[in-house]
Structure 1
Amino acid sequence: MDALYTAAAGMIAQNQQLALVAGNLANANSPGYLAQTGTFIAFPQGTVTRQGVSPGVVGSSSDGVALTSGLNPAASGVNQTNQPTDLAILGPGFFQVKTPAGISYTRDGHFSLDAQGHLVTAAGDWVLADNGQPITLAPGPFTVSPTGVISQNNQVVATLALTGLQPTGMTSLGNNLYRGTPSPFTGSVEQGALNTSNVDLGTAAAQLIEAQTRYQSLAQMVNEESNRLKAAATLGVVG
């Protein structure tokens, strides 16, 4: 029975890995997307119990594997767009935005101006200045310096709230938004450009094939072990 539980645990982990890699491939062209990473870990031996009319311990499960996920914090490339509201971060770092769920961070600098002149994300969330307030611009051209200073009509309007995030503990909120522990910003800003995703297509394709192959092998192991247990259950007891 140990082999059955081990193989089943492996199938679950490989299925999660398939979903993770598929998500990376689906977002390979999403500006500022950070690739998800998966790490297989062993979980300790546990007791298997039976529920129902005759509850009790029926055995123990052998060591299996589980998948823990994280984010690849590596900086990505940059595509030139020549759109003044598009902003990219060279090196590590994030823009700070205000969402209905609170303060979040993004590398997706595909911004625009709403009807009130607020600088907003593609989802309509406010891009924040370093004083925690939304950034409001008048109609007309503006410039953004490498340090995030926004100027218009030869006057400083605001400075972008820019931050780094500690790699440990970073979480994805979806829509290219992230949470984490802030750290000093060490990058720079480029106007008229967008960050690419940091998904490595070659690596992701290889991971997808590997996960599929392992899943199929484990599924075969589960079938063989199930058949063995069924055969064992039909054997008579010699007394």
Structure 2
Amino acid sequence: MIRGWYTGASGMNVQQQRLDTIANNLANVDTAGFKKDVTSVKSFSELLLRRQDADGVYENIFGSADAAPIIGKLGTGCETNENFIDFTEGSLRLTDTPTDFALHGKGFFVIMTPEGERYTRNGNFMLGKEGILETKDGYPVLGENGYIYLEDDKFKVNEDGIIVTKDNEVVDRFRCVRFDNERYLKKIGNSMYLDNDISGPAHIAEGDERPQFIQNYMETSNVNVVNEMVRMIEVNRAYEANQKTIQSEDAMMNTLWNRVASVQR
């Protein structure tokens, strides 16, 4: 019975973590370039139950049979296996703003922050006071030659990320990076990511690895509200089921204690 408490409690913990992930996804459904989190769950090793008495094989007129057959498997709970980022591309929304960009394909813009280089899929940029292309938070966007300086918003960007002025002068080319295991990048807020040992370091995206740059468009969140709501209902039902399991185990234990106490009197 004690095992039943731990099994139910582990299930409740897992469902609470799944609910937190879903809530965060729904909160960012309108955040440009946001990528949803996915929680995967794994079960603890199951116990194989056998009868303890009459172990061995007996013979009869029909042949032989196992005297200690397998009763079945007993689950011992579950735990969160991992939380990872789903980088499925979101839909593109037309903004008709020259400083808005979307990436079609895998890849990231490079942003310079006070803590160093960070990476994002959110191409909702603007021109700063000094003519530097920046994020909405004021962090410069990096090109292959450093900061991207523009005189005005009368510029064009081709599919390769090359920035050209209205006089057809090349300004710079967007710096774009990829990762070996991008799903394990660390979210640091504002739709930006930080690399780590699991994701691997950033490397410049060239050739077939380089995504297509689309000007005047913005990539929306890849969160599907309907799917997330369905998952939320599923999580709530699973949480309630584990809760009832613990309540049933508690009632059984209470009955056992009361009967043992009455016999001892």
- Bin for the TM-score computed over the shorter chain: 0.7 to 0.9
The percentage of counterpart residues that share the same residue type is: 28
Contact kept? 2:99, 2:153, Cα under 8 Å? no
Q: Distance in 1 between matches of 2:189 and 2:153?
A: 32
Q: Tell me the matched-pair count.
A: 222
Q: Which amino acid in structure 1 is aligned with residue 116 of structure 2?
A: G
Aligned to 2:191: 176
Aligned to 2:52: none
Aligned to 2:236: 212
Aligned to 1:83: 97
Aligned to 2:109: 95
2:251 to 227, 230, 236: 227
User: Aligned to 1:222, what secondary structure does the other structure show?
Assistant: helix
Query: Which structure 2 residue ranges, 5 or more long, are not aligned?
Result: 47-74
- How far the C-alpha of 1:229 sits from its partner, in A, is 2.6
Q: Distance in 2 between matches of 1:87 and 1:163?
A: 15
- How far the C-alpha of 1:28 sits from its partner, in A, is 1.6
The answer to whether structure 1 residue 149 and structure 2 residue 150 are counterparts is no
User: Aligned to 2:26, what secondary structure does the other structure show?
Assistant: helix
Contact kept? 1:118, 1:134, Cα under 8 Å? yes
- How far the C-alpha of 1:154 sits from its partner, in A, is 2.2
List 4+ stretches of structure 1 deviating above 6 A. none
User: Aligned to 1:126, what secondary structure does the other structure show?
Assistant: coil
RMSD: 2.1
- How far the C-alpha of 1:168 sits from its partner, in A, is 4.4
Deviations 1:165-200 (A, max 9, x none): 333422222211123333533311011110011112
The answer to whether structure 1 residue 139 and structure 2 residue 152 are counterparts is yes
TM-score (norm 2): 0.77
Contact kept? 1:70, 1:171, Cα under 8 Å? no
TM-score (norm 1): 0.85
- How far the C-alpha of 1:158 sits from its partner, in A, is 1.3
The answer to whether structure 1 residue 193 and structure 2 residue 217 are counterparts is yes
Q: Distance in 2 between matches of 1:13 and 1:128?
A: 40
1:202 to 217, 226, 250: 226
